[in-house]
Amino acid sequence: MRIPLAQADISPAEHRAVTEVIESGRLALGPKLAEFETAIAGYVGVGHAVALNSGTSALHVILEGLGIGEGDEVITTSFSFIASANCILFVRATPVFVDIDPVTLCIDPGRIEAAITPRTKAILAVDVFGHPADWPALERIAEEHGLLLIEDSAEALGSSLGGRRCGSFGRAGIFGFYPNKQITTGEGGVVITEDAELARICRSMVNQGRGDGDAWLKHVRLGYNFRMDELSAALGVAQLARLDEFIEARQRVASWYEERLAACPDVVTPSVGDQATQSWFVYVVRLAEAFNETQRDAILAALERDGIGCRNYFAPIHLQPFYREFLGTTQGTLLVTEVAGARTIALPFFNRLTRDQVACVVDALLRAIDEVLRG
């Protein structure tokens, strides 16, 4: 691609951090892991962090650690990366999808209570594209109905709502650190929580079920090999030190897109709520509702021919082939989600994207739209 969809921002500081770990000879379960966990917990303002190999694994161990399992239902959103629903299936519970807010694209609290049944155990909400979900409303619903509240903040490191950091809402939250995120550890994720007992259980599950201070071959529960290695943790420490710089750069790129697309009636640009501060993960626009999915896909193809990285973001989970077969979900049940999913376009977005590159992307997008409209 002439302009890629995403690109990690790696400086000499990250190279030095990783090299130091290699030269130390301690490549796993070392001091960098503890340093990264302490730094993440401090940044978010929570008591505990457990770093591990992915955001997906982080959600998995939270659900299992909270005792969610077979026969339970977890209310969640279909407008997300598939991992936020898969983790519910991992523990043999059932995801129950509700529709989204048409502006923020996060789960719509007003639709949740109608989905609650005697089997409902938790609400798992997502900070979509880095925009905070309506956590005060979700907290009220969870408290009134005695439900656990879990935050998938994989895309929202640095975002906040009402001055409170994303990831700190509910019983526990997670971040993901894939290379397209605000910071990266290559692959990686973290559990964040104020619940010391949940953190202890998650730390054990991540490390093959070993207990605190137990011998290497003593295992107190069923566990997994979900550990984060020292190289990844060292990369994370160096990246986290630059997070404010990254957030500022991404905000600047988002403002360039907004500036150039504001007068285009065929494109809906993302908006940020009054109480929200958004740490941009991706820049996703939506085509006006006059467009259909076939036209959107033609525009994506035209952008790719022009060397512009792009993607539909997200494809609704309930319409994925596996979910249709396994849960029997069908089209027409989540109308706001389906309308959004058919019209989204993720444009190139990363720290070092230049103003000229943004202009090139927007020009290519407008050409593609014009071609589709002219048939």
- The per-residue pLDDT for range 305-353, each reduced to its tens digit, is 999 999 999 999 999 999 999 999 999 999 999 999 999 999 999 999 9
Q: Say which DSSP state 314 is in.
A: -
pLDDT at 243 over 70: yes
pLDDT at 213 over 90: no
pLDDT at 98 over 90: yes
- Per-residue model confidence (pLDDT) at position 1: 66
- The chain-wide mean pLDDT, for the chain, equals 97
- Same domain for 281 and 181, yes or no, is no
- Same domain for 190 and 299, yes or no, is no
Q: How many domains does the chain have?
A: 2
- Per-residue model confidence (pLDDT) at position 216: 81
pLDDT (mean) for 286-301: 97
Say if 3 falls within a structural domain.
no
List the Cα angle 330/108/113 in 5-degree steps. 85
Of 240, 261, 294, which residue is a domain's last?
240
- Per-residue model confidence (pLDDT) at position 215: 75
The catalytic position among 32, 121, 181, 218 is 181
Q: Who's near 174: CB < 8 A, 6+ residues apart?
A: 55, 58, 59, 62, 151, 152, 153, 154, 167, 189, 190, 191, 192
Tokens of 41: 């917990």
DSSP states along 70-105:
TT-EEEEESSS-THHHHHHHHTT-EEEEE-B-TTT-
Of 208, 240, 272, which residue is a domain's last?
240
Percent of the chain with pLDDT over 90: 97
- Same domain for 16 and 79, yes or no, is yes
Say if 358 falls within a structural domain.
yes
- Same domain for 223 and 315, yes or no, is no
- Same domain for 351 and 312, yes or no, is yes
Q: Who's near 247: CB < 8 A, 6+ residues apart?
A: 158, 182, 279, 280
- Same domain for 269 and 220, yes or no, is no
- Same domain for 211 and 329, yes or no, is no
Q: Say which DSSP state 197 is in.
A: H
Say if 2 falls within a structural domain.
no
Of 240, 264, 296, which residue is a domain's last?
240
- Same domain for 254 and 217, yes or no, is no
Say if 4 falls within a structural domain.
no
Q: Who's near 342: CB < 8 A, 6+ residues apart?
A: 292, 293, 296
CA distance 73 to 27: 39
- Same domain for 170 and 314, yes or no, is no
- Same domain for 67 and 86, yes or no, is yes
pLDDT (mean) for 16-33: 97
- Per-residue model confidence (pLDDT) at position 258: 98
Say if 325 falls within a structural domain.
yes
Asked about 32 being catalytic, the answer comes back as: no
Which CATH number belongs to the domain containing residue 304 in this structure? 3.90.1150.10
Contact criterion met (CB below 8 Å) for 14 and 239:
yes
- Same domain for 177 and 230, yes or no, is yes
Q: Quote the domain boundaries for residue 293.
A: 243-373
- Per-residue model confidence (pLDDT) at position 364: 98
Say if 139 falls within a structural domain.
yes
pLDDT at 225 over 90: yes
Say if 178 falls within a structural domain.
yes
Burial (CB count within 10 angstroms: exposed 0-12, middle 13-18, buried 19+), residue 254: buried
Count other Cβ atoms within 10 Å, centred on residue 7.
16
Say if 7 falls within a structural domain.
no
Percent of the chain with pLDDT over 70: 99
- Same domain for 289 and 357, yes or no, is yes
User: What are the backbone angles phi and psi of residue 282, rounded to the nearest 5°?
Assistant: -135, 165
Q: Assess whether the previous peptide bond of 314 is cis (omega < 30° from 0).
A: yes
CA distance 208 to 190: 17
pLDDT tens-digit map of 151-185: 999 999 999 999 999 999 999 999 999 999 999 99
Which CATH number belongs to the domain containing residue 228 in this structure? 3.40.640.10
CA distance 296 to 287: 7
User: What are the backbone angles phi and psi of residue 192, rounded to the nearest 5°?
Assistant: -130, 135
Tokens of 258: 């907004």
Q: Who's near 92: CB < 8 A, 6+ residues apart?
A: 69, 70
pLDDT at 12 over 70: yes
